[in-house]
């Protein structure tokens, strides 16, 4: 029996919402790793290393989101099928050019930031400060990373 001051139906609502953040983050993790493997061109070294830093950060982040779902009393999704159903980030069917990879990653980071911002309202409404704190940190990372990637392709 969980008695942390948030009703079960509200905990469920937050956990379901956090599952969308988890799915977005995992999908972006996979996309970033995919691009790390397959990037080509004159920016290879820069992008190969930059993407590595980014996917490592995302791999740590999914753990924090999943464990928050567990602390709220629910199971975290953990299959590609579940993530595909929950995620707002589309997958690529082919390998894009380097500039397009950057654009797609900017879009992916912006998407996770938007999802996290929506879920924040749910968590805030029931005084779930730990979830709000986690989401605030995730929004900071995604918005900063989007800026850094955007700066590579802005003239
Ligand atoms: Fe590698």
Q: Return the pLDDT at 155.
A: 79
Model confidence at 4: pLDDT above 90: yes
CA of 96 to the centre of ligand 1 (A): 18
Q: Return the pLDDT at 97.
A: 98
CA of 36 to the centre of ligand 1 (A): 7
CA of 57 to the centre of ligand 1 (A): 14
Model confidence at 70: pLDDT above 90: yes
CA of 34 to the centre of ligand 1 (A): 10
Question: How far apart, in whole angstroms, are the C-alpha atoms of residue 62 and residue 38?
Answer: 23
Model confidence at 74: pLDDT above 90: yes
CA of 103 to the centre of ligand 1 (A): 21
- Residue 154 phi/psi, 5-degree rounding, is -80, 135
Q: What is the dihedral of CA 48, 27, 139, 102, to 10 degrees?
A: 40
> Quick one: pLDDT band at residue 59, thresholds 50, 70, 90?
very high
Q: Return the pLDDT at 1.
A: 86
CA of 70 to the centre of ligand 1 (A): 30
Model confidence at 36: pLDDT above 90: yes
CA of 53 to the centre of ligand 1 (A): 10
CA of 31 to the centre of ligand 1 (A): 13
Span 57-84, average pLDDT: 98
Span 15-28, average pLDDT: 98
Model confidence at 21: pLDDT above 90: yes
CA of 130 to the centre of ligand 1 (A): 33
Helices (DSSP H) in 1-155: which residue ranges?
A: 8-38, 44-71, 80-86, 98-125, 129-153
Average pLDDT for the chain: 97
CA of 85 to the centre of ligand 1 (A): 28
pTM to 2 decimal places: 0.97
- Residue 98 phi/psi, 5-degree rounding, is -55, -45
CB-based contact 116:133 (threshold 8 Å)? no
CA of 22 to the centre of ligand 1 (A): 23
């Amino acid at each position: 029996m969980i008695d942390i001051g948030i009703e079960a139906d509200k905990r469920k609502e937050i956990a379901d919402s956090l599952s969308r953040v988890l799915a977005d983050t995992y999908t972006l993790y996979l996309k970033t790793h995919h691009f790390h493997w397959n990037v080509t061109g004159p920016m290879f070294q820069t992008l190969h290393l930059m993407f590595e830093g980014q996917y490592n950060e995302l791999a740590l982040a999914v753990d924090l989101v999943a464990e928050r779902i567990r602390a709220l009393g629910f199971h975290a999704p953990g299959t590609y099928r579940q993530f595909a159903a929950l995620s707002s980030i589309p997958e690529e069917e082919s390998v894009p050019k380097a500039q397009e990879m950057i654009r797609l990653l900017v879009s992916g980071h912006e998407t996770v930031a938007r999802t996290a911002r929506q879920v924040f309202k749910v968590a805030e409404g029931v005084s779930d400060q730990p979830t709000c704190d986690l989401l605030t940190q995730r929004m900071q990372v995604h918005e900063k990373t989007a800026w850094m990637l955007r700066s590579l392709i802005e003239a």
